Amino acid sequence: MKVLFLTNEYPPHIYGGAGVHVGYLSRELAKMMPVEVRCFGDQHLDEGNLKVIGFELDTSNFTCPKPLRSAFGAVRRCVDFNTININADLVHCHTWYTHFGGILAKKNYGIPLVITVHSLEPLRPWKREQLAGGYDFSLWVEKTALEMADAIIAVSAETKRDIERLFNVDPARVHVIHNGIDLDQYCKVDSIAAVKRHGIDPNKPYLLFVGRITRQKGFQHLIRAIQFMDRGFQIVFCAAAPDTPGLAEEMKNAVERAQAQRSGIIWIDEMVDQKTACELYSHAAVFICPSIYEPFGIINLEAMACETAVVASAVGGIKEVVVDGETGFLVPLDQTNESPFEATNPERFARDLAARVNELMRNPQLRERFGKAGRRRAEEKFSWFAIARKTKALYETLTL
């Protein structure tokens, strides 16, 4: 059995959790079966059972509005994915950018279509800021692909419920297979070179945020919470890849305002490599994830694997990763059907985030206990070996 992965992100060109997921899962599956990956970029790899082909895109002749270029670029590459002969037994798509390619492969080559849902477009309305009318296309292509897929993988039980609520799909076709973590790569390290390089004082505790600059990650709530936090620790934002220039400017202004109010606020404006991220996690006193929408929240799992206590919003799949009072604290985020993507009481949420951060910062013993428990949970529940075996078993139900 051979599988074809279609993905926007693939190492080394990744900016989010989906790219991390595809990178690790493809390599783990390749230990058991042939895997071909077709992705956006210039990647090229032919190593044993794993073959990776990047598809580049020349947009120099595009005259459409800039926000539409990613949508039309995705369609063009999805077509290119299919004009190169497909000899796989099934096609497995990751993120809406490749769904059109999966539809073409299923219809033209007659092979089963599997889709992993890393996030859902109807639950990310802020994407219209980035895509303009392209957001309407992403909504359509995701709905079309999911409703014709032979199997759908949800990265959390919460995501499974969202899929069944939002789309006309048979629940029997929706399977929960969590994201995973490479426990050898993500572990506590002693090195502090990256900490010093980015201007962090290794002798003072720091609160760490890692994530893209997008509404989804809740950076606006973290900025608001700073005013309620104790002054005796540093706050490190490792945040880049803004959805829009407007969000980049909003982040810049917010950080500058916070820096004017207190010392020890550091912004690392880049997507750091895995080694650097691991070091930042390892030496952080507390990791914070104030997301307003998170189908899984692999970032929390990375921090836990590095033995760092977590404070996170109690949304989506985060509740299946972080155990409240055991590996960290979960902070309720009040939302309504009228406004499901924002806190109904932003100040209360900010105060609650700050209160949990302050509690952990004042209690090193509790931080250490949470950190050790987080590592154990990562080891017991989220290895890529187990996730690849579950994925392969699902493939076999479609091809044997």
Write the pLDDT tens digit of every residue in 91-125: 999 999 999 999 999 999 999 999 999 999 998 88
Beta strands in the chain (DSSP E): 3-7, 35-40, 44-47, 50-55, 90-94, 113-117, 151-154, 174-176, 206-212, 234-240, 265-268, 286-289, 309-313, 328-331
Does the domain at residues 193-381 carry the CATH identifier 3.90.226.10?
A: no
Is 306:283 a contact under the CB 8 Å cutoff?
no
pLDDT at 337: 53
Q: State the average pLDDT over residues 11-35.
A: 93
Q: State the average pLDDT over residues 66-95.
A: 96
CATH topology of domain 3-180+383-399: Rossmann fold (3.40.50)
Tell me the pairing of strands 328-331 and 309-313. Answer: parallel
pLDDT at 16: 78
- Where do you find CATH 3.40.50.2000 in the chain? 3-180+383-399, 193-381
Write the pLDDT tens digit of every residue in 281-333: 999 999 999 999 888 888 999 999 999 999 999 998 999 999 999 999 999 98
- Categorise residue 4: left if φ over 0, alpha if ψ from -120 to 50, beta otherwise: beta
pTM of the model: 0.80
Write the pLDDT tens digit of every residue in 133-190: 999 999 999 999 999 999 999 999 999 999 999 999 999 999 999 999 999 999 999 9
Write the pLDDT tens digit of every residue in 335-368: 655 544 566 788 999 999 999 999 999 999 999 9
Q: Above 90 in pLDDT, residue 15?
A: no
Write the pLDDT tens digit of every residue in 49-75: 999 999 999 999 999 999 999 999 999
